[in-house]
Amino acid sequence: MNRFVLTAFAAACMFSSCKNEEKKPEPAKGATPVSGQWIIIYPKDILVSDDQKVVYAAAQDSIVNLFGLKLISFGDDGRFVQADSSQAQPGTWLQKNNGEILIDHGGLGFDNFRGDLVGVDIKTMKISQDLKIEDQTIPVEWHLKRLNVDQAKALLGAKENWWRKKAPVPESDSAIKVRIRSMLEYYSAYFTLVSEESSYFSMERVMLPFNYYQHAVGLKSYKKTSPAFLNVFYNESDAQRAYKILESGMIKRAKLKDYPSGKDYVIEYAMYMKKLAEAL
């Protein structure tokens, strides 16, 4: 994926498609059918003109990578959180009487989100959004699935996301191993959810320095490791030690020649990460 396209599209979402003249919403109070924890599954485009189809085709991958398979929470108290930004200050969300949903300061893609509730029930939700891309208005309909209590705790709970917070001091090898194990256990739970709910998988949602194949996981070179992974460690030295610890664990697993076998390659990723966590 072209990262410039993604960056430009993110900027478009934050500025071009938003109603900036509106007053920032105050946090809503009390539970509504929208309240809860969700995974964004996919966007359904509603295109009419040929120009729309051309513009959407060029931006589709960036749109999916920006929003697809994100975990988000609409709190009863009006707080909005996405897992990728769970260590940041929560954003706010508000549902108007006409069904419009407003999200502010919710992190990438949700700093100034405006959409309309199409429908919601105990398991699913649909939100329509008009995206301003180039000179076209692109209507899309986001399909979401509600997380159950156990999934919400495992993937959006504060204790389960502690490893996202940058280490405030240098860490020992033992402490680094604990951090990496927590990351692997988290993504094992995430891949399990994705395997159950989605027909595709997005590497954008995972900060681990892995390459993903059918029936295999490989380690990227340190130079190609995502800054998102490196930045949770105190400094470059700790990040390098973390990489070596992860590399050592993968070598240990490879010698066993027992890569998991599952119903699809995504659940195999989940099983592998759980085993890798145990090997550290």
- H/E run at residue 190: helix 173-197
Q: What is the pLDDT of residue 30?
A: 57
Task: Give mean pLDDT, residues 203-211.
Answer: 94
- d(C-alpha 81, C-alpha 89), whole Å: 8
Q: What is the pLDDT of residue 21?
A: 41
CA distances from 264 to 144, 185, 192, 203 (A): 22, 19, 10, 16
Looking at the chain, the whole-number percentage of residues with pLDDT higher than 90 is 81
Q: pLDDT (tens digit, 9 = 90+) per residue, 253-280?
A: 999 999 999 889 999 999 999 999 999 9
pLDDT > 80? residue 135:
yes
In sequence order, the 6+-apart residues with CB closer than 8 A to the CB of 205 are 69, 70, 84, 190
Measured in whole angstroms, how far is the alpha carbon of residue 280 from the centre of its chain? 25
Task: Give mean pLDDT, residues 148-154.
Answer: 96
Q: pLDDT (tens digit, 9 = 90+) per residue, 66-95?
A: 999 999 999 999 999 999 887 778 999 999
Q: Which CATH architecture has domain 3-147?
A: Beta Barrel (2.40)
Whether 43 contacts 13, CB under 8 Å: no
pLDDT > 80? residue 195:
yes
Q: What is the pLDDT of residue 151?
A: 97
- d(C-alpha 93, C-alpha 104), whole Å: 6
Least confident of 29-38, 99-108, 123-132: 29-38
Q: What are phi and psi of 121, to 5 degrees?
A: -140, -165
Local structure of 199: helix, strand or coil:
coil
Domain residue limits, the chain: 3-147, 158-279
Whether 153 contacts 159, CB under 8 Å: no
Q: What is the pLDDT of residue 14?
A: 42
Match 């145990």 to its residue by tokens.
278
Could you tell me whether strands 71-74 and 136-146 are parallel, antiparallel, or unpaired per DSSP bridges? Answer: unpaired
Looking at the chain, the whole-number percentage of residues with pLDDT higher than 70 is 89
Q: What is the pLDDT of residue 257?
A: 92
- d(C-alpha 206, C-alpha 184), whole Å: 10
**Tokens representing 151?**
């999934």
Q: Pick the residue with more confidence: 85 or 30? A: 85
